[in-house]
Amino acid sequence: MADPSRYDFPAIQTTFPAPFVAHVEINRPKNYNSFSPDVFSSLARVFDRLSEDENVRCILLSGVGKHFSAGLDVKSASTSGPVSQTTEGEDIARRTWKIRRHMYGYQDGINAVERCEKPVIVCCHGVAYGAAIDLALAADIRYCSKDVRFSIKEVDVGLAADVGTLTRLPKIGISYSWAKEIVYTARDFTAEEAERVGFVSKVFETKDDLIKTGFELANFIATKSPVAVQSSKALFDFSRDRTVQDGLLYTAAWNSPMVQSDDVKKAMMSGVRKTKSTFEKL
Amino acid sequence: MADPSRYDFPAIQTTFPAPFVAHVEINRPKNYNSFSPDVFSSLARVFDRLSEDENVRCILLSGVGKHFSAGLDVKSASTSGPVSQTTEGEDIARRTWKIRRHMYGYQDGINAVERCEKPVIVCCHGVAYGAAIDLALAADIRYCSKDVRFSIKEVDVGLAADVGTLTRLPKIGISYSWAKEIVYTARDFTAEEAERVGFVSKVFETKDDLIKTGFELANFIATKSPVAVQSSKALFDFSRDRTVQDGLLYTAAWNSPMVQSDDVKKAMMSGVRKTKSTFEKL
Amino acid sequence: MADPSRYDFPAIQTTFPAPFVAHVEINRPKNYNSFSPDVFSSLARVFDRLSEDENVRCILLSGVGKHFSAGLDVKSASTSGPVSQTTEGEDIARRTWKIRRHMYGYQDGINAVERCEKPVIVCCHGVAYGAAIDLALAADIRYCSKDVRFSIKEVDVGLAADVGTLTRLPKIGISYSWAKEIVYTARDFTAEEAERVGFVSKVFETKDDLIKTGFELANFIATKSPVAVQSSKALFDFSRDRTVQDGLLYTAAWNSPMVQSDDVKKAMMSGVRKTKSTFEKL
Amino acid sequence: MADPSRYDFPAIQTTFPAPFVAHVEINRPKNYNSFSPDVFSSLARVFDRLSEDENVRCILLSGVGKHFSAGLDVKSASTSGPVSQTTEGEDIARRTWKIRRHMYGYQDGINAVERCEKPVIVCCHGVAYGAAIDLALAADIRYCSKDVRFSIKEVDVGLAADVGTLTRLPKIGISYSWAKEIVYTARDFTAEEAERVGFVSKVFETKDDLIKTGFELANFIATKSPVAVQSSKALFDFSRDRTVQDGLLYTAAWNSPMVQSDDVKKAMMSGVRKTKSTFEKL
Amino acid sequence: MADPSRYDFPAIQTTFPAPFVAHVEINRPKNYNSFSPDVFSSLARVFDRLSEDENVRCILLSGVGKHFSAGLDVKSASTSGPVSQTTEGEDIARRTWKIRRHMYGYQDGINAVERCEKPVIVCCHGVAYGAAIDLALAADIRYCSKDVRFSIKEVDVGLAADVGTLTRLPKIGISYSWAKEIVYTARDFTAEEAERVGFVSKVFETKDDLIKTGFELANFIATKSPVAVQSSKALFDFSRDRTVQDGLLYTAAWNSPMVQSDDVKKAMMSGVRKTKSTFEKL
Amino acid sequence: MADPSRYDFPAIQTTFPAPFVAHVEINRPKNYNSFSPDVFSSLARVFDRLSEDENVRCILLSGVGKHFSAGLDVKSASTSGPVSQTTEGEDIARRTWKIRRHMYGYQDGINAVERCEKPVIVCCHGVAYGAAIDLALAADIRYCSKDVRFSIKEVDVGLAADVGTLTRLPKIGISYSWAKEIVYTARDFTAEEAERVGFVSKVFETKDDLIKTGFELANFIATKSPVAVQSSKALFDFSRDRTVQDGLLYTAAWNSPMVQSDDVKKAMMSGVRKTKSTFEKL
């Protein structure tokens, strides 16, 4: 079992409800789980640790309480951070430079979910606005409950989304026409609409059902060979961004040692014998 | 309000029916709005002007009369332009060179819609064949009326589409298997089929409904911060073609000055006060 | 008509049931059409020949008997090939090197379907597991019968798919969330689900219906100008992997001589006269 | 002979001293040929016309008078253009947006030299500072006279070069270590140093020698097949920026019609007969 | 002045000998400054801090004592780290996975030099073998003393270089033929040879001269506008790896706010008045 | 020792003068070793075999007799092959298609040298024209004798080089300005000039010296670990064409199993003991 004391960071709660499964929750329910600076930096630290934790094979990501997250905590963003500090007469180049560094920091929190070696299942419920969408898009599998209210809110605060939504949305296999309408209007969209276009792959009646089935999926993935599952994630995301030819070259370099794994023999054997394999840690 | 006299080009009619909204119509109804050389060159000029016109924030694109467009005007293509001038004994290299330049010209007319800084909503109705599809694919949002008859007609005239369809179709989030069938057979497809696969994001009963709702969307987008909307378009299209990492780097460089906009403060304030902001021109 | 004697390779049966149409079938029905080394190498040889055979314009790909294919022949894979030869004490670098070369060979068999100049319609029926999916993804158009049972099986044998599935799946316009769930769980999915997400573009009641309609489509495509159809395939696949700008440049270079084809005149004429053209071989 | 009246633009003088050869000169000698807004926009117009002028096959680029160019005209830049108009209280996003558009305009003037279909030989003499280097880097062949004083001056005015130097310098085959030193220090470098590192490929005693030999080279290139020379430029620059594999694919698409040119037969014949060919216009 | 206490890491010594200039030295002289795990991780930490330290504008990198560095500390590599832990019977996939993670860690130490926002001048002296070359290639400017003995040593220990040499060497503007010979043979090359091919841009008689002139350069760069210098580094390295068109787009997005800096006004003014500007921190 | 009978192909002579070293010679001395169709196809077959031949570790490539090669055999090109068969009235699209396929075939002969897993040292002597340059550029290391006369001859026969020169020349680290001059003029350049710009990395007095030293280098490389040398080639060429980041990712995937090779232990041991290792075949 993973050691919970290594995951004690502000604003993010990490638990280990089943063998090889982690549950990461945004933990600011009084603030609609909005993204304070802590949320971004804790996300990076938690997911980078989970990525190398041999006791974790699959991760469920959701919010404590009713809502997944209302997005950027505007109040904390406007009272701290370089965006807020509009010092009179400050040089524009220097201010812009600081903001850019700041954005890299925010992007890094979200990217940590994508670069995490283990699959991440995100469960969206209640409000899922703005940065919550950026976060959801960095996960592998998107589920939601019926009550969810999605919105790519940034345009409504005078911004273009800058921590990943505009970058990942054209690559998740949904209608580009729909995606642009959703972004330009900042309008809400429902669970039903999200499922129809392929934004989420399943919808559940209640948050409870959502989390329950999410864990069933996580547990199921956790029984598979971690060599196989984690290699699949790595090769998927590399290939998405490059030519088929580069994807194939990388796959061959990556996979040629992996197929020598004991997991292959075990898995084949248990396929034949109809037994269940237990795979070593990775 | 934009100055209509700057948009007086042959074969394309441009009007400004509402503040910050332009309506561009292919205007050759007697010829099924087919693409004469004028259509391509006027498209480039009109959209390049709209792109920098501070009085325009969203554009509706449709056809005058019943049909959106029947595609390339075969008659005019075969009586003028280098393709037609099969001078006996002309050097193949030179003829090919002229045709290539010619294609760049055609592509440029279509590309102008994509490189236009403002969102473009295309409303397809009646016949939408060949080059009409190339054009529609360069727009941001695709709507149509129930009566529309789409066809990627090029194969039926012995051609592969060369002004954008084959290039953009694999990137709009629709089934690649369906797309190839549609291209290889040149068969018609209906509004219903187009909506089901995600080629268009909404279907309307009549052309009137289509245009009316199109304008409602355009007007709505025009009320948003132009900094936010236009940045979103720029970052979307850049990211579509590149790695996630390059998309994020470009986003941070682009957005770090943009978030210092007065629009952010205005938009946040009006979010809090439930009022409506008016944004300065861009 | 194509010369069948040039297509006599083990494990793959190639017939020419109609003018310009080839039927390629995996021919190991006693072994569920599983992929022996022969299947991979014969695929490469058959499709490379079809690619340049002027008597072929469209190809149907299916399996002899009830099943399309059960994927890698685990038995033959474990008794021959470098993966099997775990010589005691063999150098890891050298073993890995051999396996990598081996993977290139397997990938080559699948790639031959994609690099084949002619459209390939794959008809999936019965079981379509593992390598069968890699193969189907390299085809242009995917159809299936209602009884099909798809599974991206690799994770269940302790492997990440390495002959194309992970590389091509993010590029066929289906929900990325769904794709990852399917890969990480290795669960079966049905014809209905495959159609809903856009993995296949049509489903048929029985294998007979599937093959029959597949041939109708193949025959129909075979009546079109081969210059137009084959150029479309080439430009489609090039563009899928690159920026829109590179796609357009390549299209102009490729198409500028192609539009000078006699096919264009013929096709236009028959469009006008409502007659049917016969196109010369390519 | 080309028609000089089509090339009458401010700040740039274009003459046609020999058949198929154009001479483009920056023509603001009283201002050290510094780049006013006119220089950028005239460059774009002149080179875009030369690119399609069948009477031109090779272009010499230099400066009227002693100096090639002192770079950006700081005075005109600070009294006109968006950079100068620091309206009190102007929104940063909007100002930045205007400047970005402005930069695209400047880049376009320089890019016109690279996208010009004909080879451009740049002859640097006297002072060649700042934007003069951006311009020289967009040319095909760089020559200079002994008296030249090069400097990538931008850092000394508090700027990073933004119209091409930083983008093209890593791609012209010179020591990256040297290039960075030159840029970070903004120090002068001599003709001798420029030749040693490969920045220029030849140095001449005087401006007269430089121009004279430049014309000899231009005249010589102008006697070659324009199909061959212009194809070479196009394929070179495409390949520089992409993988070898993409370069080869593009080359085959481009060149397969080109090798059918009459020029090939003529050139081969004259090779055999030791005569001189005259090639048709392109 | 930077705060030295923030730079107290094992195996790397960081001092601040002049305003805005840092001196980073590999500090294991008894071990020929060979790369222990500490060296890699301290490099990452030191350079990531320097990158954001507003008191630093240019960095000199060298070795304490006679030698720059003998490369990987083979002893420490073989007694610690996953490469060493050849546990009998360990699964190949799992071992490989650990090594890959380990390599990312090593690469990260080297990459920190390239991603550091400030220019890095590397001064090579004495022995500069293996990992020392990887490190030198990540710096901006390469200088050396006459006594240096370079060698890309990896082949001689049965390895291909994996922390950057093979990746960066084809991109620094030196003869590819020479580079490959040097790598395949692992032979020594001298300062003279390194300068001739452009591997280093200057050679000095002694280490003292080297360091002295290195500091003069560093001090000189430190007097320049940090906005200008650091933007140049960022735009240079981005452009090196991408098409010219992408380089130009990124440059415009990055630079459009930067040119609004007070540094531009200051620098222009001091150019006119022949005075020296002092630039604010960044 | 390699089995010579497997290398018996027309127009190319392959011998094995020393352990692990192959000597490939173009063998049409009566025709100046010009490239007949046989040369291209034999090159592909020979180098693809050498690539997988465990008895070969380094390859020397030269010409039988005085000359390396005069390039394309114009006579054979004009009497056979699709370029020659200008059937009256043949469809341009179909002819172009055939020529394109033909070019892929020629490119494939040259590419085989680059994709060969083993280092190739090319020794140029006598005449090295046209296709001889394409071939030399695909090799790893370029040496020549003093008497060599290089020319990128294609422009002089009315062609742009299409089998690799224009694609690889911008990537070998030589002055781009020089490269373009050489291509546009088709002028001869000498051994001395070739060495100065970095086109070749060494020049020898006579062909005998050239071949002798070439073999010394080949023999030396053949004593090194083949895992190390061949990995270096693979990683070098992959990285040349891609971003540094992709190069590093690929390197880590490739190299993580390779560093577990016995060769590492052997090489380290012999480094310590000052003995010479013998490496197993690969």
Nearest-CA neighbor of A44 among A138, A133, A126, A127? A138
Residue B84 pLDDT level (bands cut at 50, 70, 90): low
Give the closest-approach CA distance of B251 to chain D in angstroms.
Answer: 14
Q: Which residues of C touch F266 (CB under 8 A)?
A: none
Provide the CA F174 distance to its chain's centre, in angstroms. 18
- D106 phi and psi, to 5 degrees? -65, -50
Q: Count CB neighbours of B113 within 10 A.
A: 26
Nearest chain D Cα distance for residue E102, angstroms: 29
Whether the predicted pLDDT of C77 surpasses 90? no
Query: Which string of DSSP letters, residue by residue, matches chain A?
Result: ---GGGG-BTTEEEEEEETEEEEEEE--GGGTT-B-HHHHHHHHHHHHHHHH-TTEEEEEEEESSS-SB-SB-HHHHHHSSTTT---TT--HHHHHHHHHHHHHHHHHHHHHHHHSSS-EEEEE-SEEETHHHHHHHHSSEEEEETT-EEE-GGGGGT----SSHHHHGGGSSS-HHHHHHHHHH---EEHHHHHHHTSSSEEESSHHHHHHHHHHHHHHHHTS-HHHHHHHHHHHHHHHTS-HHHHHHHHHHHHHHHTTSHHHHHHHHHHHHT----PPP-
Contacts of B160 (CB under 8 A, 6+ apart): B154, B166, C227, C228, C231, C232, C234, C235, C251, C254, C255, C258
Give the per-residue pLDDT at C81. Answer: 60
Q: Counting beta carbons within 10 angstroms of the beta carbon of residue C218, is it exposed (0 to 12), middle (13 to 18) or buried (19 or more)?
A: buried
- pLDDT exceeding 70 applies to what percent of chain A? 96
Burial of D159 (0-12, 13-18, 19+ CB in 10 A): buried
Other beta carbons within 10 Å of E145:
23
Q: Does C34 touch chain A (CB under 8 A)?
A: no
Whether residue B84 lies within 8 A of chain C, CB to CB, comes out as no
Question: In whole angstroms, what separates CA B141 from the centre of its chain?
Answer: 8
E 181-200 residues with CB < 8 A to F: 181, 183-186, 197-198
Sign of the torsion formed by the C-alpha atoms of D231, D232, D238 and D239: positive
Please tell me the predicted confidence (pLDDT) of residue E74.
78
Residue C241 has pLDDT above 60, yes or no: yes
Q: Would you give the DSSP letter of residue F5?
A: G
Q: What are phi and psi of C92, to 5 degrees?
A: -60, -40
**How many cross-chain Cβ pairs, B to E, lie less than 8 Å apart?**
16
Residues 140-159 on D with a CB inside 8 Å of F are 140-142
C-alpha–C-alpha distance, residues C32 and E101, integer Å: 40
Output the pLDDT for position F82. 54
Query: How many angstroms separate the Cα of D276 from the Cα of each of B94, D263, D273?
Result: 20, 12, 9
pLDDT at B80: 64
Cα E166 versus chain centre, distance = 15
Q: D119 and F242 in contact by Cβ < 8 A? A: no
* Average model confidence (pLDDT) across chain F: 95
**What Rg, from alpha-carbon coordinates, does chain F have?**
20
SS3 D84: coil
Any D CB within 8 A of F92 CB = yes
- Common-topology check for domains D4-223 and D226-273: no
Which residue stretches of chain F have pLDDT < 50? none
How confident is the model at residue D80, as a pLDDT?
63
Question: What is the pLDDT confidence band of residue B85, given thresholds at 50, 70 and 90?
Answer: low
Class at the top of the CATH hierarchy for domain C4-222: alpha beta
CATH topology for F4-223 is 2-enoyl-CoA Hydratase; Chain A, domain 1 (3.90.226)
Question: Given a cut of 90, is residue E89 above it in pLDDT?
Answer: no
Mutation pick from C96, C166, C278 vs chain F, by most beta carbons of F within 10 Å, is C96
Say yes or no: A97 contacts chain E, CB-CB below 8 A.
Answer: yes
DSSP run (H or E) holding F189: strand F188-190
Quick check: E114 contacting F, CB < 8 Å?
A: yes
Q: CA-to-CA distance for A251 and D198, rounded, in angstroms?
A: 39
Give tens-digit pLDDT for C148-167.
999 999 999 999 998 999 99
* Neighbouring C-alpha atoms within 13 Å toward the C-beta of A227: 31
Is F249–A256 a contact, with Cβ atoms under 8 angstroms apart? no
Question: Which CATH superfamily, name and number, covers D226-273?
Answer: Lyase 2-enoyl-coa Hydratase, Chain  A, domain 2 (1.10.12.10)
| B251 Cβ contact partners less than 8 Å away, ≥ 6 residues apart | A103, A160, A162, A166, A167, B235, B239
Q: E130-160, pLDDT tens digit by residue?
A: 999 999 999 999 999 999 999 999 999 999 9
User: Is A278 exposed, middle or buried (CB count within 10 Å of its CB: 0-12, 13-18, 19+)?
Assistant: exposed
C-alpha to C-alpha distance for C48 and C32, rounded to whole angstroms: 25
Strand partners, B203: B144
CB F185 within 8 A of CB D220: yes
- Among candidate residues E172, E157, E56, E76, the one with its CA nearest the CA of residue E116: E56
Q: Which of A246, A249, A256 minimises the CB distance to F257?
A: A256
Residue D174 has pLDDT above 80, yes or no: yes
Answer whether E199's CB lies under 8 Å from E45's CB: no
Which chains reach chain D with 3 or more Cβ–Cβ distances below 8 angstroms? B, C, E, F
Q: A142 pairs with which residues across the strands? A: A122
- In which element (H, E) is residue F50 found? helix F37-52
pLDDT tens, position by position, F33-70: 999 999 999 999 999 999 999 999 999 999 999 999 99
Confirm or reject contact between E89 and chain F (CB < 8 A). no
Looking at residue B201, what is its pLDDT? Answer: 96
Q: Which tokens sit at B33?
A: 């709005």
Q: Is C239 on the interface with B (CB under 8 A)?
A: yes
Chain E partners within 8 Å of D95 (Cβ): 260
- CB contact under 8 Å between E242 and B238, yes or no, is no
Phi, psi of C276 (to 5 degrees): -110, 130
Q: CB distance B263–D93 less than 8 Å?
A: yes
Work out the end-to-end distance of chain D between its first and last CA atoms, rounded to an integer number of angstroms: 13
**Nearest CB to A256; choose among C100, C158, C170:** C100
Which residues of chain B lie closer than 8 angstroms to C251, CB-CB?
Answer: 103, 160, 162, 166-167
Residue to test with chain F: of A250, A258, A259, A260, most F Cβ within 10 A: A250
| A179-183: long-range pairs with CB below 8 Å, 24+ | A179/B173, A179/B236, A180/B119, A180/B140, A180/B141, A180/B232, A180/B233, A180/B236, A181/B141, A181/B201, A181/B217, A182/A152, A183/A152, A183/A154, A183/A155, A183/B232, A183/B236
As a whole-number percent, the residues of chain C with pLDDT over 90 amount to: 89
Tell me the CA distances in angstroms from D76 to B43, D37, D38, one per residue in order: 34, 8, 10
Asked if F233 and E180 come within 8 Å (Cβ–Cβ), the reply is yes
Q: Is D89 on the interface with E (CB under 8 A)?
A: no
Size of interface B-C (CB pairs under 8 A): 164
Contact at CB, C155 and A229, closer than 8 angstroms: yes
* Cα→Cα distances E156→A130, D161, E107, E150, F228, Å: 54, 42, 20, 14, 8
Task: Compute the average pLDDT of residues E177-182.
Answer: 98
**Chain A, chain E: beta-carbon pairs less than 8 Å apart:** 52
Look up residue C200 and give its two tokens: 């296949």
Nearest residue on chain A to B198, judged by CA atoms? A175
CA–CA gap between residue D100 and residue F48 (Å, rounded): 51
Q: What is the pLDDT of residues F225-241, one digit of tens each?
A: 999 999 999 999 999 99
> Does the structure show a pLDDT above 90 at E4?
yes
Count the Cβ atoms, other than its own, within 10 Å of residue C29: 13
Mean pLDDT of the region E115-136: 98
Q: Residue C87: pLDDT above 80?
A: no
**Interface membership of E171 toward D (CB under 8 Å):** yes
What local confidence, expressed as pLDDT, does residue D74 receive?
Answer: 78
Determine the distance from the C-alpha atom of residue E100 to the mean position of all C-alpha atoms in its chain, rounded to a whole number.
22
For residues F50 and F118, the answer to whether their CB atoms sit within 8 Å is yes
Per-residue pLDDT tens digits for E21-47? 999 999 999 999 999 999 999 999 999
Q: Confidence class of residue C83 from pLDDT cuts 50, 70 and 90?
A: low
D249 at the E interface (CB within 8 A)?
A: no
Flag whether residue E252 sits within 8 Å of chain D, measured between CB atoms: yes
pLDDT per residue as tens digits for the range A115-171: 999 999 999 999 999 999 999 999 999 999 999 999 999 999 999 998 999 999 999
Q: Identify all chain A residues contacting B259, using CB atoms and an 8 Å cutoff.
A: 83, 99, 159, 162
Residue C247 near chain D (CB below 8 Å): no
Q: Is the pLDDT of residue D134 over 70?
A: yes
Alpha helices in F53-155 (DSSP H): 74-79, 92-115, 131-138
Distance CA A233, CA C180 (A): 8
Amino acid at D178: W
Of A149, C90, D272, E260, residue with least CA distance to F260? C90
What is the model's pLDDT at position F75?
79
pLDDT at F203 (0 to 100): 98
Q: Do C173 and B173 touch (CB under 8 A)?
A: yes
Q: Give domain limits for chain D.
A: 4-223, 226-273
CA angle A240, B160, C135 (to 5 degrees): 40
- At residue A275, the pLDDT reads 86
- pLDDT exceeds cutoff 60 at B125: yes
